[in-house]
Structure 1
Amino acid sequence: MKSGRLLAVLLGAATVLFVVWGTLWPVKAAQVYAPDKHLVRSSGTPAAALQNLTEDIRSQSWQKAYDSLANKAQFTQTDFMHDLTGAYPNLRTYAHLEKVETRPLHESDSDAEYQVKLHWATVVGDAVQTRDVHAVRNGGNWQVQWPVTKEPALPPQVIPVNYLRWDVIYRGAGDDWGSQDVDAPHVRIIDMHPVQRADGLVIMGELLNEDVVPAYVAVNATVLNKNKQPIANEGSFDKISHLLLPKAVTPFLIKFPEVNLSSVGSVDMHPFSQLIPASADPVIEIQNEKLNPAPDASLTGEVVNQSGQIANIAHVLGTFYDKDGNLVWVADQYVDHALLPQTPVPFNIHIPEDLARKITSQRTVVSTYSMGGAA
Structure 2
Amino acid sequence: MKNGRFLAVVLGAITIVLVVWGTLWPVKAAQGYAPDKHLVQSSGTPAAALQNLGADIRALNWGKAYNSLANKAQFTESDFMHDVTGAYPNLRTYSHLENFETRPTHESDSEADYQVKLHWATVVGDSVSTRNVRVVRNGGEWQVEWPVTKEAALPPQVIPVNYLRWDVIYRGAGDDWGSQDVDAPHVRIIDMHPVQRADGLVIMGELLNEDVVPAYVAVNATVMDKNKQAIATEGSFDKISHLLLPKAVTPFLIKFPDVQLSSVGSVNMQPFSQLIPASADPVIEIQNVKINPAPDASLTGSVVNQSGQIANIAHVLGTFYDKDGNIVWVADQYVDRALLPQTPVPFNIHIPEDLSRKIASQRTVVSTYSMGGAA
CA change 1:97–1:34 in 2 (3 A) is closer
- Residue 82 of structure 2 corresponds to 82
CA–CA distance in structure 1, aligned partners of residues 205 and 40 of structure 2: 55
- Residue 18 of structure 1 corresponds to none
What are the Cα deviations for residues 61-84 of structure 1, in whole angstroms up to 9, with x where unaligned? 001100111110000000000001
- Which amino acid counterpart does residue 369 of structure 1 have in structure 2? Y
- Residue 102 of structure 2 corresponds to 102
Shift >2 Å, 4+ stretches: 33-41
- Which amino acid counterpart does residue 271 of structure 1 have in structure 2? P
CA–CA distance in structure 1, aligned partners of residues 89 and 150 of structure 2: 16
- Residue 297 of structure 2 corresponds to 297
Q: How does 1:47-126 map to 2 (within 5 A)?
A: 47-126=47-126
SS at match of 2:154: coil
> Is 2:114–2:132's contact at 8 Å kept on the other side of the alignment?
yes
CA–CA distance in structure 1, aligned partners of residues 297 and 98 of structure 2: 26
CA–CA distance in structure 1, aligned partners of residues 204 and 194 of structure 2: 6
CA change 1:34–1:237 in 2 (3 A) is closer
Shift of 1:123: 0.9
- Residue 337 of structure 2 corresponds to 337
CA–CA distance in structure 2, aligned partners of residues 312 and 112 of structure 1: 35
SS at match of 2:358: coil
Shift of 1:150: 2.1
SS at match of 1:118: strand
> Is 1:312–1:368's contact at 8 Å kept on the other side of the alignment?
yes
CA change 1:181–1:294 in 2 (3 A) is same
The reply on whether 1:140 has 2:140 as its aligned counterpart is yes
SS at match of 1:55: helix
> Is 1:120–1:127's contact at 8 Å kept on the other side of the alignment?
yes
- Residue 195 of structure 1 corresponds to 195
Shift of 1:39: 6.5
For normalisation by structure 2, the TM-score amounts to 0.89
CA–CA distance in structure 2, aligned partners of residues 169 and 296 of structure 1: 49
> Is 1:319–1:329's contact at 8 Å kept on the other side of the alignment?
yes
The reply on whether 1:362 has 2:362 as its aligned counterpart is yes
- Residue 282 of structure 1 corresponds to 282
What are the Cα deviations for residues 270-323 of structure 1, in whole angstroms up to 9, with x where unaligned? 000000000000011111111112222111111111101111111111111111
CA–CA distance in structure 2, aligned partners of residues 314 and 278 of structure 1: 16
SS at match of 1:354: helix
CA change 1:34–1:280 in 2 (3 A) is closer
CA–CA distance in structure 2, aligned partners of residues 339 and 195 of structure 1: 34
What are the Cα deviations for residues 128-179 of structure 1, in whole angstroms up to 9, with x where unaligned? 1111111111111111111111221111111111000000011112222221
SS at match of 2:64: helix
Shift of 1:40: 6.0
- Which amino acid counterpart does residue 60 of structure 1 have in structure 2? L
> Is 1:79–1:150's contact at 8 Å kept on the other side of the alignment?
no
- Which amino acid counterpart does residue 165 of structure 2 have in structure 1? R
Shift of 1:346: 1.0
- Residue 351 of structure 2 corresponds to 351
CA change 1:34–1:334 in 2 (3 A) is closer
- Residue 164 of structure 1 corresponds to 164
Q: How does 1:228-267 map to 2 (within 5 A)?
A: 228-267=228-267
CA–CA distance in structure 2, aligned partners of residues 305 and 327 of structure 1: 28
SS at match of 2:184: coil
- Provide structure 2 residue ranges, at least 5 long, that are not aligned to the other structure: 1-32
Shift of 1:37: 4.3
CA–CA distance in structure 2, aligned partners of residues 58 and 37 of structure 1: 14
CA change 1:210–1:34 in 2 (3 A) is closer
Shift of 1:41: 3.5
| CA radius of gyration, larger in | 1
SS at match of 1:65: helix
What are the Cα deviations for residues 181-223 of structure 1, in whole angstroms up to 9, with x where unaligned? 1100000001001100011000000000000000000000000
> Is 2:35–2:55's contact at 8 Å kept on the other side of the alignment?
no
Q: How does 1:313-328 map to 2 (within 5 A)?
A: 313-328=313-328
- Residue 28 of structure 2 corresponds to none
CA–CA distance in structure 1, aligned partners of residues 332 and 129 of structure 2: 17
> Is 2:221–2:269's contact at 8 Å kept on the other side of the alignment?
yes
Q: CA RMSD in A?
A: 1.2
CA–CA distance in structure 2, aligned partners of residues 57 and 223 of structure 1: 44
CA change 1:295–1:223 in 2 (3 A) is same
SS at match of 1:136: strand
CA–CA distance in structure 2, aligned partners of residues 40 and 349 of structure 1: 35
